[in-house]
Amino acid sequence: MKKILSIGITITLIIILLLGVSELPKFGQYNNPANNEVSHYYIEKTTKDTGAMNIVTGIILDYRAFDTFVESSVLFTASIIVLLLLKKEKHIQGIDNEVTIIESTILKQVSKVLIPCIQIFGIYIIFYGHLSPGGGFAGGTIIGTSFILYRIIYGKKFTDKTLPYSKLITYLCGAIMLYGVLKGYSFITGGNHLNLPQPSLGTPGSILSGGFLLPLNILVGLIVAITIYFFFTLFDGGEI
């Protein structure tokens, strides 16, 4: 019965999606809304409406902020599912899955300089995402990669003390909830024209501009960095 129900739901969803696709305008047609209205509006109005110099960031964190929220939620959900599927309890398994520690003094000394530089660059990409190419997804990937490099060089035991699982999962959950609260407040108050405090857009080109764009970029970067690190640890050793 469950299999029949699953097949029925899947077929229904496929039909709905196909019907939706069939109603879309033809690709490349000149009078498509995407060609004659949307793109021109974004190019002309993004900086004025959002305060962001980077049009892409203005779009994904303001006009399409709920889409980005769903994308972040997908990463969050994927990391939680992988945790449930692959995380192993040590007292049950009784197997030592230690990652081989690279005993290289030279490598460790170089990493003390290299890893902070990578992380600073990732932070820069996040903080200036509303002013220049970059943002939370790109910067979070860079920082997450630095965590992976740290784990490879210093080994599982040492890294687990520095980046404990309990704190990372707390940051991950807190970031996704705070994103929803910030953008939910922005959409509810702005969309309904409520007379409530709104963040200032500031001066375009200034680091403190764009309203919620900067904190949203930071939250997305945190989600991406932790998710990437979780995926590596779980697929590499089967546990955190």
pLDDT tens digits, residue range 179-228?
989 888 887 877 666 677 777 888 888 888 888 889 999 999 999 999 99
Q: Are 190 and 62 in contact (CB under 8 A)?
A: no
pTM: 0.67
Plot region of 22 (φ>0 → left; ψ -120 to 50 → alpha; else → beta): alpha
Secondary structure of residue 105 in the 3-state scheme: helix
63: which 2 tokens?
């006009």
25, amino acid identity? P
pLDDT of residue 229: 93
Phi, psi at 11, each rounded to 5°: -65, -40
Under-70 pLDDT residues of the chain? 27-28, 30-31, 33-36, 82, 85-104, 191-194, 237-240
Rounded to whole angstroms, how far apart are CA atoms 2 and 184?
Answer: 36
Task: Give the DSSP H or E segment for 159.
Answer: helix 156-162
Contacts of 79 (CB under 8 A, 6+ apart): 172, 226, 227, 230, 231
DSSP letters for 201-230: ---TTSSS-STTHHHHHHHHHHHHHHHHHH
The whole-number pLDDT of residue 174 equals 93
Closest by CA to 209, choosing from 8, 51, 78, is 51
